Structure 1
Amino acid sequence: MKNETNRPPIAVILAAGIGSRLSPLTDNCPKSLLTVGGSVILERMIRNCLSCGMSQFVLVLGHMEDEIKQFVDKTFRDIHVTYVINERYRDTNTGYSLMLAASAIGTAEFVKFDADVVFDVKILRKLLDDDHADVLCIDQNIALEDEEVKVITDDQMQVIEIGKTVDPKLALGESIGIEKISAKTGKLLFAELNGMMKVREHFQDYYEAAYARLVDKGSVFRAIDITGLNWTEIDTVKDFTAANAMFETSITTVSRGQKKAIDEAAEKQTITM
């Protein structure tokens, strides 16, 4: 993994939304603090990052920001967290939230997460291990409809089109909401978002709209296929139920070295048996 010898990327987590489609579960609880498989969604995400050597976090908050801050500060005492507040979370979307994180990220490489995605740490490891600078994760085993962010690639997995309006018949799969962004592309991305958000009609745009604009201007994004690895986005009560069926156990922070030792021990036991 190239980031084991270099500075690990910053984890940027977008957690400003209300989660109204999850009502009544979110009536008194932010979506990212719901419990799935014995662990809070945000806790599982942060522990996955820690397992991959990532220890710097930028959290973009809005709805019930104090509750999320209190949870993170109490649960994780030894990580570096910068909180960015989207005061306009009620009338903006993920594009606006990501734009606000620009100054906190600076010129660093980062991995962007949607706070409502529950995922196996293997996905993050695969993303960080990829040698390409700007990479998004896609799942091909998804029934593509209007709601999904669809991705078209060429035969080298370079992204040609991305967005919800992409023709599902031409798409390779769905973008799951986890991307690695280089320092070079980050500068272009935030400039694009800043320009977009000067026009009120773009307030409700998703950050993928900026990705699509950069692709049209020649920026190179690669897709990696994570089909078969567990992940799910939680938008509805049905999604929440499915997530609890998929992730049945709570999470602990396990480093790569510890995971390797566990796997080797399990392999030796299998051979012995």
Structure 2
Amino acid sequence: MNTDINNCCGTKRITTALLLAAGTGSRLFPLTKSSPKCLTLVNEKSILARLVTNLKKQGFKRLVIVTGHEQKCIVDYLGDKSGDLNIEYIHSPLYKTTNNIYSLWMAKNIINEPFVLFESDLVLSSTLLDDMVYPDRMAVALMQPWLNGTTVSIDQTNMVTQFQQGTSDSYSDIRYKTVNIYSFSLQSWQAIVKRLNQYIEAGDVNCYYETVFSEMVDSKSLSLNSVSFDHKPWYEIDTIEDLAKAELLFPVPEQKVVRHENSIV
């Protein structure tokens, strides 16, 4: 996708990111017993540090983080600024009994501009965000046997046409795994907030935000253009096994050897 086309059409780059980092990361225990999932190290660099680096490379100016489990660790680690990136926090006191739909809803009063939504368990190359910094897009990857979770169908114009919860049933069409990175225009976000409010007011705080996105795509009140992450370096880390696989994709950079007269550093 040519970003020059986006610019000439008047679509501005997004400079605000929202990170949902409230969960306990129970499937990564014991690594997350006293630390949030986003501070898990992937070859000596945390998931959160990798994301912040990627955001700064892409010119983001604002990062809002919804915290919960061990939130003080995140605040102490990042502070309120990293280079030109301003960092703000929203604490979800109900993180133990709610799911990501509630975390997303928590951001309704603090974000009033286009933004990119991230989950706290993703590692990826910063170049993958090149086409995600424009509104109303969704990262996807062609479904593979070792992947699981929510999938979507897309049409010939790369628009998302339907969400499917889980992948246990057989299917004949081509499915794409959600990578859990979304970008939203202000208009889309305002429509999403209205639907989120309905769920929260009804007490439905323990489901996934994909339920809302799915309903809105079905009713054509939300349009998302898919961005392919196929055969590109990204990984979703839910378990210790996932972490091991991610470390194969993102190895420790080789250190340059500097030779001095009596030593090597």
Q: TM bucket by the smaller chain?
A: 0.7 to 0.9
- Please tell me the residue identity of whatever aligns with 1:247: F
Is the alpha carbon distance of 1:86 and 1:163 closer, same or farther for their aligned partners in structure 2, counting shifts above 3 Å? farther
| 1:64 corresponds to 2:74 | no
Per the TM alignment, residue 37 of structure 1 is displaced from its structure 2 partner at its CA by: 2.4
5+ residue gaps, structure 1, are 251-273
Per the TM alignment, residue 5 of structure 1 is displaced from its structure 2 partner at its CA by: 8.7
SS in 2 for 1:103: coil
Q: Distance in 2 between matches of 1:155 and 1:78?
A: 39
| 1:208 corresponds to 2:182 | no
| 1:79 corresponds to 2:85 | yes
Per the TM alignment, residue 103 of structure 1 is displaced from its structure 2 partner at its CA by: 1.1
Per the TM alignment, residue 138 of structure 1 is displaced from its structure 2 partner at its CA by: 0.5
Q: Distance in 2 between matches of 1:221 and 1:5?
A: 15
Is the alpha carbon distance of 1:81 and 1:168 closer, same or farther for their aligned partners in structure 2, counting shifts above 3 Å? farther
| 1:47 corresponds to 2:53 | yes
8 A contact 2:22–2:103 mirrored in 1: yes
Correspondences of 1:121-140 after superposition (within 5 Å):
121-128=126-133, 133-140=135-142
8 A contact 2:68–2:91 mirrored in 1: yes
RMSD over aligned Cα, in angstroms?
2.1
Deviates more, 1:240-249 or 1:108-117: 240-249
Aligned pair count reads 244
Is the alpha carbon distance of 1:5 and 1:51 closer, same or farther for their aligned partners in structure 2, counting shifts above 3 Å? farther
- Please tell me the residue identity of whatever aligns with 2:41: T
Q: Distance in 1 between matches of 2:210 and 2:174?
A: 15
| 1:38 corresponds to 2:38 | no
Is the alpha carbon distance of 1:144 and 1:69 closer, same or farther for their aligned partners in structure 2, counting shifts above 3 Å? same
Q: Which residue of 2 aligns with 1:151?
A: 152
Q: Which residue of 1 aligns with 2:125?
A: 120
Per the TM alignment, residue 8 of structure 1 is displaced from its structure 2 partner at its CA by: 3.0
- Please tell me the residue identity of whatever aligns with 1:236: T
The structure showing larger relative contact order (alpha-carbon pairs under 8 Å, at least 6 residues apart) is 1
Is the alpha carbon distance of 1:54 and 1:35 closer, same or farther for their aligned partners in structure 2, counting shifts above 3 Å? same
Q: Distance in 2 between matches of 1:168 and 1:46?
A: 38
Flag the structure with higher helix content: 1
8 A contact 2:19–2:120 mirrored in 1: yes
Q: Which residue of 1 aligns with 2:161?
A: 160
Q: Which residue of 1 aligns with 2:256?
A: none
Q: Which residue of 2 aligns with 1:220?
A: 223
8 A contact 1:141–1:227 mirrored in 2: no
Q: Distance in 2 between matches of 1:165 and 1:46?
A: 30
SS in 2 for 1:126: coil
Is the alpha carbon distance of 1:144 and 1:240 closer, same or farther for their aligned partners in structure 2, counting shifts above 3 Å? closer
8 A contact 2:80–2:88 mirrored in 1: no
Q: Distance in 2 between matches of 1:144 and 1:199?
A: 35
| 1:198 corresponds to 2:198 | no
Per the TM alignment, residue 45 of structure 1 is displaced from its structure 2 partner at its CA by: 0.5
Is the alpha carbon distance of 1:195 and 1:79 closer, same or farther for their aligned partners in structure 2, counting shifts above 3 Å? same
TM-score when normalising by structure 2:
0.85
Deviates more, 1:230-239 or 1:71-80: 71-80
SS in 2 for 1:21: helix
Is the alpha carbon distance of 1:88 and 1:249 closer, same or farther for their aligned partners in structure 2, counting shifts above 3 Å? same
TM-score when normalising by structure 1:
0.83
Q: Distance in 1 between matches of 2:156 and 2:12?
A: 30
Q: Distance in 1 between matches of 2:174 and 2:195?
A: 24
- Please tell me the residue identity of whatever aligns with 1:161: Q
